[in-house]
Amino acid sequence: MSVRVFVPTPLRPYVNGQDHVELPARTVGEALSALVAQYEKLRPHLFAEDGQLRSFVNVYVNDEDIRYLKREETTVRPGDSISIIPSIAGGAAGGSGGSGGGLHPGGSVGAPGSAHPEGATATLDIAPSLRFARNWEEVTLSPEEIRRYSRHLIMPEVGMEGQKKLKAARVLLLGAGGLGSPLGLVDFDVVEFSNLQRQILHGTKDVGRGKLESARERILDVNPGVEVELHGARLTSANALEILRDYDIIVDGTDNFPTRYLVNDACILLGKPNVYGSIFRFEGQASVFYAAEGPCYRCLYPEPPPPGLVPSCAEGGVLGVLPGLIGAIQTNETIKLILGQGRPLIGRLLLVDALKMRFREVRLRKDPACPVCGERPTIRELIDYEAFCGLPQAEEQARAEAGAVPEIDVHEFRRWVDEGRPIRVIDVREPYEWDIAHLDFARLIPLGQLPEHLRELDSAQEYVVHCRTGGRSAKAAALLRDAGFRKVWNLRGGIKAWAEEIDPSLPTY
Ligand SMILES: [Zn+2]
């Protein structure tokens, strides 16, 4: 007599690494209460201090969002599954293509009520018709192109008409990664070694080059007929409408929350479909947000998570094949939208767990109160997305915390070590980071475990705390100071600065 609660990758560390937990419960509220009672460290990630479910955590019973059922009062039956679906922002970087569908007759926004509604759906069963910036009927294929695309041309779903649409379509890829027909790329980054493991557009020889040039070279090598337009800028509220305007479809492979919301809002204001993909470790999400036909990103996640709660790929890592997997799904959706074939991911969120190799999907509903695509939109132009996502405040907070704790740089720290000063060094990273590189004279206590180890530490001693780059150790230093430790120093730049400036034999990551 129990329900299964699926736990997403970012939250698994709080439930001993399990991907699901079986619990006896009659309602969603009971199940979640039982879950956080059993795993106390999970509580702050699901519930605010006032006991309310956090707004950026979406909870589903089977494939239904509880916001459209009876929220925590929603009844569950044995065998039901409850899914916790958090925001993840990691970029998939890959994609092109296109087709769409029309709204299913009778498709509507489901009313709150029954725990197991039938038929009330905003998903699309047929492809919507896409507005092309270029007239595809005027496009012709050369004999060489006919040879190149022969395996497409013999498919009834593509044919000559479809291939002309693919050639006419203008796809904008945000984050340099994919392939396409006339293809716009937006990126401002350079290729780093740590990118090569998953960003197959770039090779070892490209390290240090701009991603745009590297991507263009690779795409033109695959297909010289692709018109590649480069936009070497960070997408901002000031330039987004201008850049996105000329494209038929936007593929979002970006990696941070402010840009996700910016892309969403810009696509709605311009009436363009947004092919969404995001990744974290072994987990990916994909959907198509097309406000003309279904819900948008804000209907799913009205608010971003507080800064720092959801780690980025740079902090949390990502499996090398996952961008390819999710990027291929985005590409497939883009091609379907261009061809006007199939059933698009509009109104559905596809969840990919590559570790279990399980694909699930949940229904997305258009929120009538959505501030951008709802009945009475309040956002009619692009806003300050950094402020919306709370980033300046977070930086100030981090600075305030770091400022309150004295810092030393790696050169000073080295002098102390060389002098034999009686300092204790605590590394607050995770064990798998310690395995990559560590200081022999440091002791490993991951930040999350520091509170329970405080009693073993002597507050009369002098401490230097470090992590990878100094952020987590600033928190650790503040925690030690608040616990009565008076002589605590944060190592500025962390072990990365140590490796770069003091000991180049240490690997960096
Ligand atoms: Zn919306």
Question: What is the CATH number for 174?
Answer: 3.40.50.720
Q: Are 296 and 106 in contact (CB under 8 A)?
A: no
Q: Which helix (H) or strand (E) holds 338?
A: helix 322-339
Quick one: what percent of the chain has pLDDT higher than 70?
Answer: 86
How many A from CA of 90 to the centre of ligand 1?
21
The one-letter amino acid at 331: T
350 and 268 both lie in a single domain: yes
Give pTM, 2 decimals: 0.72
373 is annotated as an active-site residue:
no
131 in a domain, yes or no? Answer: no
Domain count, the chain: 3
Tell me 133's DSSP state. Answer: S
In the predicted structure, residue 8 carries a pLDDT above the cut 50: yes
What pLDDT sits at residue 338? 92
pLDDT recorded at residue 399: 55
Confidence of residue 121 (pLDDT cuts 50, 70, 90): very low
437 shares a domain with 288: no
Task: Pick the range with the lowest mean pLDDT from 87-101, 103-117, 127-141, 399-413.
Answer: 103-117
- Kindly give the distance from the C-alpha atom of residue 393 to the centroid of ligand 1, in angstroms, as a whole number: 26
At residue 364's C-alpha, the angle toward residues 101 and 311, to 5°, is 120
Is residue 329 located within the same domain as residue 211? yes
Non-local (6+) Cβ contacts of 37 within 8 A are none
Average pLDDT, the chain: 84
H/E element holding 302?
Answer: none
Residues 352 and 439 grouped into a single domain: no
**Position 228 confidence tier, pLDDT thresholds 50, 70, 90:** confident
The larger pLDDT score, comparing residue 196 to residue 465, is at 465
Q: Give yes or no for residue 91 having a pLDDT over 90.
A: no
Q: Is 472 helix (H, G, I), strand (E, B) or coil?
A: helix
Q: Are residues 385 and 411 in the same domain?
A: no
Q: How does residue 107 score in pLDDT terms, banded at 50, 70 and 90?
A: very low
Average pLDDT over residues 400-424: 86
Task: Find out whether 336 and 100 touch, Cβ atoms under 8 Å.
Answer: yes
Q: Which domain holds residue 343?
A: 169-389
Q: Cα(299) to centroid of ligand 1, in Å?
A: 4
Say what the pLDDT of residue 102 is.
Answer: 27
Question: For residue 158, is pLDDT > 50?
Answer: yes
* Domain CATH number, residue 16: 3.10.20.30
**Residue 71 domain-assigned (yes or no):** yes
Q: Assign 95 a pLDDT band (cuts: 50, 70, 90).
A: very low
| Sign of the torsion angle spanned by Cα atoms 410, 413, 419, 420 | negative
Phi-psi region of 340 (alpha: psi -120 to 50; beta: other; left: phi over 0): left
- Centre of ligand 1 from the C-alpha of residue 369, in Å: 8
Average pLDDT of the residues in 68-93: 86
pLDDT, tens digit, 9 for 90 and up, residues 384-393: 888 888 765 5
- Check pLDDT > 50 for residue 114: no
335 and 281 co-located in one domain: yes
Centre of ligand 1 to C-alpha 372, Å, is: 6
Please indicate, yes or no, whether residues 241 and 344 belong to a single structural domain of this protein.
yes
Coil, strand or helix at 186 = strand
Catalytic residue from among 299, 370, 389, 467: 467
Band of the pLDDT at 403, cuts 50, 70, 90? Answer: low
In a domain? residue 453: yes
Report pLDDT digits (tens) over 436-462: 899 999 999 999 899 989 999 999 999
Indicate whether 346 and 307 sit together in one domain.
Answer: yes
Among 267, 296, 299, 313, the active-site one is: 313
Average pLDDT (318-332) is 86
Instruction: State the pLDDT at residue 214.
Output: 86
How far is ligand 1, taken at its centre, from the CA of residue 322, in Å?
Answer: 27
Please give the distance, rounded to the nearest whole angstrom, from the Cα atom of residue 73 to the centre of ligand 1.
25
Which residue has tokens 């000063």? Answer: 421
Q: Tell me, yes or no, if 313 is annotated catalytic.
A: yes
Residue 274 C-alpha to ligand 1 middle, in angstroms?
Answer: 12
64 vs 199: which has the higher pLDDT? 64
164-195: pLDDT as tens digits: 999 888 888 887 643 334 466 777 677 777 67
3-class DSSP state of 75: strand
Could you tell me whether strands 20-23 and 3-6 are parallel, antiparallel, or unpaired per DSSP bridges? Answer: antiparallel
pLDDT, one tens digit per residue, over 333-350 is: 999 999 999 999 999 999
Q: Are residues 320 and 207 in the same domain?
A: yes
* Euclidean distance between CA atoms 16 and 39, whole angstroms: 9
The residue out of 86, 105, 137 marking a domain boundary is 86
Residue 186: inside a domain: yes
- Give me the pLDDT at residue 267, please: 97
Q: Confirm whether 268 is domain-assigned.
A: yes
State whether 383 and 403 are in the same domain: no
Residues 403/419, Cβ–Cβ less than 8 Å: no
| Segment among 57-71, 114-128, 308-322, 364-378 with least mean pLDDT | 114-128
Structure confidence at residue 86 as a pLDDT band (50, 70, 90): confident
Does residue 419 share a domain with residue 276? no
Confirm whether 287 is domain-assigned: yes
Give 442's DSSP letter. E
According to the model, what pLDDT value does residue 397 have? 56
pLDDT above 90: residue 45: no
Q: Give the distance (Å) from ligand 1 centre to CA of residue 270.
A: 14
From 426, 341, 362, select the one nearest 157 (Cα to Cα).
341
Q: What is the pLDDT of residue 101?
A: 27
Q: Please determine, for residue 508, whether its predicted confidence score (pLDDT) is greater than 60.
A: yes
How far is it, in rounded angstroms, from Cα 372 to Cα 404?
A: 40
Measured in Å, residue 240 CA sits from the centre of ligand 1 at: 18
Q: Are 383 and 405 within one domain?
A: no
495: domain CATH number is 3.40.250.10
Question: Which of 31-35, 101-105, 231-235 is the least confident region?
Answer: 101-105
Q: Is 190 helix (H, G, I), strand (E, B) or coil?
A: strand
C-alpha angle 151-154-156 in degrees, rounded to nearest 5 = 125
Last residue of a domain, one of 54, 86, 118: 86
Q: Which of 52, 70, 86 is the last residue of a domain?
A: 86
